[in-house]
Chain A
Amino acid sequence: MAQEQTLRHRLAIHRPILNRIERLNETQFAYLLLVPAGLILGVVAIWPLIRTFEMSLHSDALLSPDVIGEFVGLQNYVEVITGQRDSQMGSAFFDPSNPFQSALAVTFIFTLVSVILETIIGFGQALVLDKQFKGRRWARVAIIMPLAVPIVIQGMIFYLMFQPNIGFLTEPLQQIGLFSSAPLAQSFDATVILIVADVWKTSAFMALLILAGLQSIDRNLYNVAKVAGATRWQRFKRITLPLVLPMVLVAMLFRTIQALKVYGLIETIASCNTVPSLSCMVVSTFSNGLYGTSATVAFIIAAIIGITVTGYVWKVGDDAIDT
């Protein structure tokens, strides 16, 4: 009885609010339902980003107990981008004359090459998995297996493969003139190894997403095309490719975002000193107590990712949604 009274009392208090909610149109109500998700996103994503940006507007305070120094506006950005901070950051931010030793170039080269290779290989794997053949289940397991390997384990596998004294690939590759005898100590060699390692692991990710796209294609389209006399290549070009392209682009977007943030793979296989990515730079400057500089590079990565995502969405978002 008492409980019922309490409930009624509460309802009476909230009645005006409930009435307002009931009067909302469908669009407004949908937005209202998004508020909790928006709040969570704000707390876990937007707020840290704002704090990082705020930190990036302060100087480093290396010789004082303060975590960050005085307000300097955009000076950190100017000095980082123009290379004035290179010596403090352990490697060049951008040095076109030595791309494999500069963070921005390494990050872009790694991202571009690995995402392109993963897309091509992943597409091939998806086409194979889309076919009916004996042992398809085992083929799926084999293709997906690398994706299940944790980054540290994957890193150790490749690290051991290219160790000078025990790695079984080091000597043969050196003898055919591909790598030096200490490939993980050479920036170019190590970058190639990192790309191979990344492709080995994440092609399966691309394959899975593309496979989902392939399997959503109406098979009758192929039957009609066959009746019309279309060759295998024509069927691929006119049916498969256009219909699966939005899914491929979404998968590429995911991989691009991940590749731009590469850090763990580098640290486990080579080292951030040998292959300095932007994320490496964030970690090393943070470790050395250069919090303003660290926040600046971190925000630059966030900005690059933000621009990439926006570009993708503008370019292909509508197509993807339409399909």
Chain B
Amino acid sequence: MCLAVPGKVVDIEERDGTRMATVDFGGVVKEVCLEYVPDLAVGEYAIVHVGFALQRLDEESARQTLALFEELGLLQEEFGDPWEAAAAEAGTVPGPAVKDEAQEAQR
């Protein structure tokens, strides 16, 4: 939950008086609120936490972080299906979030 992920702003629009953006997180696209970094422009990167941009980030460090998160499977953890993950943890059904060494090794 506390993960903050860098993303690239691909589109900006005002919605109900709120500044919102479409943000690309290494292929996963989400709606993000820009009210806390209102001067963020299309093409720029920001650190995003639970759908809110919190700080502007330079492109190089954003790209590096995204590549690392992808490699570590953290993007799946942040944007994957939480019910599936919880069900797997609870032992209800087998699923990708069953965390054991074999799974880790496959990543």
A, B assembled together: no
B residues neighboring A (CB under 8 Å): none
